[in-house]
Amino acid sequence: MAKADRLLKIITLLKGRRTVITARQLAEVLETSERTIYRDIQVLLDTGFPVEGEAGVGYRLQPGFEIPPIMFTAEQLLAVQLGLKMVQGWSDKELAISAEEARVKIEAVIPDRLKETNQQNCLLVSKHYLNTEAAQHSLSIRRAIQQQYYLTMAYKKADGEHSKRVLMPLGLVYWGQKWTLIAWCLLRHDYREFRLDRIQALVVESEKFSTDESINLTSYLKLLRELYGEQC
Amino acid sequence: MAKADRLLKIITLLKGRRTVITARQLAEVLETSERTIYRDIQVLLDTGFPVEGEAGVGYRLQPGFEIPPIMFTAEQLLAVQLGLKMVQGWSDKELAISAEEARVKIEAVIPDRLKETNQQNCLLVSKHYLNTEAAQHSLSIRRAIQQQYYLTMAYKKADGEHSKRVLMPLGLVYWGQKWTLIAWCLLRHDYREFRLDRIQALVVESEKFSTDESINLTSYLKLLRELYGEQC
DNA sequence: CAGCTACTGACAGTTTTTGTCAGTAGCCTT
DNA sequence: AAGGCTACTGACAAAAACTGTCAGTAGCTG
């Protein structure tokens, strides 16, 4: 087997595994010697490939590098760049930072001669939302959704009525200027949707919930589609 | 020079040029023989690198492949994915298609074990805007900005007053649910900003304009910053 | 058509790679 | 602490790949 092919196969094998793989295993699969595998790994390391090896353990990808490079066309990249500006203006502070990092990466790889004609320069996004209280709530809620923590929330409806709820947060929806939280409400025993700008107070509880086949975001969306068709 | 290094340098040289480069030129720069260059090019072709060569002409990158692959972390990718959803919901139909293509590309490369924990599934974006008249205008305006065509526009202010304007379109701003057009107005001889949802009629003229040091988007933004500070 | 280019095969000399062997060092379990 | 497992490295001879020269084919452009 040609060396270049073997290097690519090592990369593929490393990316397809959660657990470590030893030089012996690689040598068997690729029908070569362990010494050659050690040399190949060194070549990968020299070229910056994020592999790490521990004596007595084996090799694996360094955490955080499981996602391979993506190749976009110029048009797709314009959509990505505009989208990142929107995230910077209308999501939460953490996402805004990630979006800025992503934008810097993109700027770094665009050839100079493509920068002059880059349409994204003419597409701007306002940036006032991130300092609102709704945006602070947004970040807390997003984390609670991911880690599945109950929320206790004081809410004020459009008609001025106040209520207190204990919720299983499931998703966030962006409506342009407004975000809403989709949650299972323990008070009403049903799904409910709440506008983030009407939240009076919010506490992320330390108790975890779990979703199942009857209470989860996918079911709620399916329910909405049955009720309203494809408008959702 | 090592073969692997030379291959990378050929890629770099091809990416840095607008015009073709011959095998002789490559051989001189890389201090090797033309026969070796022909072999290297074949290796690049065999591995899928998008180079094309024409007898009597020379080599160049296939159009559409000037932008190299980009490697995002999981957090950055979350921002990209949310951003693409926002573009799909709140820009124009062309950008929405590009955004969908980009999303498909991303989905194709995310390893299966990372899909389960992918937070983007819980972040949704409403999709009603693209069928509005404002979104149709948005696409026409974006093209006119890029190609620098004058616009003739019938506009209705918030107070109900109608006006007709001839404009040099310079940029589009997203305010969440609303887009505005930044333009140089020939009627007022000054910059003006117009809400897309208040446009009554719009015609893209066949006459081209040109910007200079005094009339362009960057100057306008600088002017705004001097007037309002960093709020813009 | 002439001049330029990309392209390919053959071959001998040069360079790189490979597997075997021996030895070093670290991690994990008992 | 010892043993078994792993990653790691240098040396060397044999095998493989690469390189430049040469000769010839084919296509593009003015």
Distance B69 CA to C10 C1' (A): 39
Nearest CA in chain A to B67: A110
Listed in sequence order, the residues at least 6 apart from A138 whose beta carbon sits closer than 8 Å to its beta carbon are A91, A92, A172, A179, A196
pLDDT tens profile A160-187: 899 999 999 999 999 999 999 999 999 8
Q: Is residue B69 situated within a structural domain?
A: no
The band of B102, judged by pLDDT with boundaries at 50, 70 and 90, is: very high
Let me know whether B9 and B96 are in one domain.
no
Mean per-residue pLDDT, B8-34: 88
Q: Is residue B68 situated within a structural domain?
A: no
Which residue of A87, A129, A171 is in closest CB contact with B86?
A: A87
Let me know whether A38 and A108 are in one domain.
no
Q: How many domains does chain B have?
A: 3
The band of B221, judged by pLDDT with boundaries at 50, 70 and 90, is: confident
What is the number of other CB atoms lying within 10 angstroms of the CB of residue A57?
A: 11
Mean per-residue pLDDT, A206-210: 90
pLDDT tens profile B72-81: 888 899 999 9
| Cross-chain Cβ contact A146/B66 below 8 Å | no
Mean pLDDT, rounded, of chain B: 88
Let me know whether B144 and B219 are in one domain.
yes
Helix (H) or strand (E) run with residue B168 in it: strand B162-174
- CB proximity B57–strand D (7 Å threshold): yes
Let me know whether A109 and A182 are in one domain.
no
Q: Which residues of chain A lie closer than 8 angstroms to B85, CB-CB?
A: 83, 174
Let me know whether B152 and B213 are in one domain.
yes
Listed in sequence order, the residues at least 6 apart from B213 whose beta carbon sits closer than 8 Å to its beta carbon are B219
Q: Is residue A66 situated within a structural domain?
A: no
Q: Smallest CA–CA separation between B195 and chain A, in Å?
A: 14
Let me know whether B138 and B224 are in one domain.
yes
| Distance from chain centroid for Cα A75 | 22
Q: Is residue A69 situated within a structural domain?
A: no
Listed in sequence order, the residues at least 6 apart from A119 whose beta carbon sits closer than 8 Å to its beta carbon are A78, B142, B145, B146
- CB proximity A52–strand C (7 Å threshold): no
Q: Is residue B67 situated within a structural domain?
A: no
Nearest CA in chain A to B230: A127
Listed in sequence order, the residues at least 6 apart from A200 whose beta carbon sits closer than 8 Å to its beta carbon are A153, A154, A155, A156, A162
**Residue B78, CA distances (Å) to B32, B108, B189 in order:** 45, 15, 44
Mean per-residue pLDDT, B40-58: 87
Count, in order, helices (H) and strands (E) of chain B: 8, 8
Residue ending a domain, choose from B126, B143, B169: B126
Helix (H) or strand (E) run with residue A183 in it: strand A179-185
Q: Is residue B10 situated within a structural domain?
A: yes
Let me know whether B87 and B155 are in one domain.
no
Q: What is the pLDDT of residue B103?
A: 94
The band of B23, judged by pLDDT with boundaries at 50, 70 and 90, is: very high
Residue ending a domain, choose from B126, B151, B166: B126
Mean per-residue pLDDT, A153-162: 92
The band of B232, judged by pLDDT with boundaries at 50, 70 and 90, is: very low
- CB proximity A36–strand C (7 Å threshold): yes
CATH number at residue B26: 1.10.10.10
CA distance B103 to A61: 25
Distance A160 CA to D13 C1' (A): 89
Does the pLDDT of residue B90 top 90, yes or no? yes
Let me know whether B174 and B117 are in one domain.
no
ipTM score of complex: 0.76
The band of A95, judged by pLDDT with boundaries at 50, 70 and 90, is: very high
Q: Is residue B107 situated within a structural domain?
A: yes
CA distance B41 to B39: 5
Let me know whether B100 and B119 are in one domain.
yes
Q: What is the pLDDT of residue A232?
A: 45
Residue whose token pair is 């004020």: A156
Q: Give the best-scoring range by mean pLDDT among A106-115, B94-103, B108-117, B212-221.
A: B94-103
CA distance B172 to B151: 14
Distance A46 CA to D14 C1' (A): 27
The parent domain of residue B28 ranges over 3-61
Let me know whether B140 and B211 are in one domain.
yes
| Cross-chain Cβ contact B69/A74 below 8 Å | no
- CB proximity A129–strand D (7 Å threshold): no
| Cross-chain Cβ contact A66/B114 below 8 Å | yes
Does the pLDDT of residue A1 top 70, yes or no? yes
Let me know whether B122 and B136 are in one domain.
no
Q: Is residue B28 situated within a structural domain?
A: yes
Mean per-residue pLDDT, B145-161: 92
Which residues from the 59-98 window of protein chain A have CB within 7 angstroms of nucleic acid chain D? 59
Q: Please answer whether residues B40 and B10 qualify as being in contact, where contact means their C-beta atoms are separated by less than 8 angstroms.
A: yes
| Cross-chain Cβ contact B76/A102 below 8 Å | yes
Mean per-residue pLDDT, B223-231: 71
Let me know whether A213 and A156 are in one domain.
yes
